[in-house]
């Protein structure tokens, strides 16, 4: 039995099919990338798994448990964490408080929550900014805070939505390093949407490609870049024929 099983997910937004019959599995400990052109339905697929959308049909199983149609807080409690592509810039809570909310997911004690939040912040080298508000921080740090918040809920599977977009090459390098470390040291399974091909290819062990809501390819990064369907989807029909 697989760690995460997604079977025949269909999501239709009033005639606009965002996900059509998508199926795949993820094994424990893997790093899997999800790529596809804009509007391919990547974020919708994430939302269907996590529970922001209820799929029209299909089934999601996580660690042997049917989590289809769970609310996001229920999937989180089951062990799936996620980050958002766009972090809402808020002014109400400091970085530490944000991460503490994450830790409170697993404990009722404030001191324990605080200790764990500090630990996660230390792990991500965010100690220095712990008393800042999110709106006072550059975007790269905001992303990291989002990641820290999700990590503090102690997920077994972490789903990252474009964690590297808007970052410069050095920052991307750092994120790649960090993700690898989380995967190897903390044994967290990673599933990431990414736009930046370079990064996906570097970090993922396996890649799934979506186009127009359908899965068009799946395999090792090295094979995916050579896949005819993928090239077509990314570069357009004409270019592919010219190859």
Partner 1 sequence: MEKLKDALDFSDFSKAERIGLVIFSVFLFAFPWIGAGSFTTTVMIQFLLFSLFGMGWNTIGGYGGQVELGKAQYVGIGSYTVALMMVWWKVPFWVSMPIGILIAVGYSFIIGYPLFRLKGHYFAIATICTSLVLKDIFDNWNLVGAAKGIELPIHDHPDFLYMQFKSDTYYYYFIMALFYIALFYMNWFRKSKLGYQLRMIKDDEDAAESLGIDIRWCKIKAYSIASAFVAVGGGFMAVYNLYIDPASTMELSLSIKIALMAMLGGAASLWGPIIGAAFLVPLDRFLGSWLGGQKGLTGIDFMIYAALIMIVSAYQPRGIWGIIEQFRKRGH
Residues 99, 90 contacting (CB under 8 angstroms): no
> How many residues form the binding site for partner 1 (CB under 8 A)?
33
**What does the buried/exposed string (b/e) look like for 173-188 if buried means 16 or more CB atoms within 10 Å of the residue's CB?**
ebbbebbeebbeeeeb
Q: How is residue 150 written in tokens?
A: 């999700």
Nearest CA to 186 out of 209, 143, 152 is that of 152
Q: In the stretch 101-140, what mask flags binding to partner 1 with x, by CB under 8 A?
A: xx-xx--xxxx-x---------------------------
In whole angstroms, give the CA distance from residue 145 to residue 178: 13
Residue 101 or 176 with smaller CB distance to partner 1: 101
Subset of 139-178 contacting partner 1 (CB under 8 A): 146, 149-150, 152-153
Scanning 93-101, 177-185, 197-205, 234-242 for contacts with partner 1 by CB under 8 A, the matching segment is 93-101
CB 73 to partner 1: min, Å: 5
Subset of 26-55 contacting partner 1 (CB under 8 A): 50, 52
97 binds partner 1 (CB under 8 A): yes
CB 89 to partner 1: min, Å: 9
Report helix angle 139-151 to 110-123, nearest 10: 130
Residue 149 or 215 with smaller CB distance to partner 1: 149
Own/partner contacts of 23-27, CB < 8 Å, gap of 24 or more, are 23/58, 23/215, 24/208, 24/215, 24/218, 26/2, 26/157, 26/189, 26/191, 27/2, 27/3, 27/189
CB 63 to partner 1: min, Å: 16
Residue 64, helix vs strand vs coil? coil
Out of 54, 77, 186, 187, the only residue in the binding site for partner 1 (CB under 8 A) is 77
Give residues in contact with partner 1 (CB under 8 A).
50, 52, 71-73, 76-77, 81-82, 84, 87-88, 90-93, 97-98, 100-102, 104-105, 108-111, 113, 146, 149-150, 152-153
């Amino acid at each position: 039995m697989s760690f995460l099983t997604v079977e025949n997910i269909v999501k239709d937004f009033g005639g606009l099919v965002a996900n059509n019959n998508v199926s795949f599995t993820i094994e424990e400990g893997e790093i899997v990338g999800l790529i596809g052109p804009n509007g391919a339905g990547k974020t919708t697929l994430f939302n269907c798994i996590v529970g922001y959308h209820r799929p029209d049909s299909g089934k999601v199983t996580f660690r042997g448990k049917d989590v289809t149609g769970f609310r996001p807080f229920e999937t989180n409690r089951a062990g799936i964490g996620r980050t958002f592509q766009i972090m809402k810039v808020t002014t109400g809570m400091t970085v530490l408080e944000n991460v503490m909310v994450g830790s409170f997911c697993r404990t009722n004690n404030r001191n324990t929550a605080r200790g764990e939040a500090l630990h996660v912040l230390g792990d991500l080298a965010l100690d220095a900014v712990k008393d800042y508000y999110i709106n006072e921080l550059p975007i790269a740090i905001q992303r990291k805070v989002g990641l820290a918040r999700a990590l503090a809920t102690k997920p077994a599977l972490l789903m990252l939505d474009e964690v590297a977009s808007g970052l410069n090459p050095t920052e991307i390098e750092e994120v790649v390093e960090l993700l690898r470390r989380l995967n190897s040291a903390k044994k967290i399974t990673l599933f990431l949407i990414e736009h930046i091909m370079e990064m996906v290819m570097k970090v993922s062990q396996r890649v799934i490609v979506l186009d127009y809501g359908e899965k068009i390819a799946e395999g090792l990064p090295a094979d995916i870049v050579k896949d005819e369907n993928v090239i077509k989807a990314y570069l357009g029909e004409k270019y592919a024929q010219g190859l």
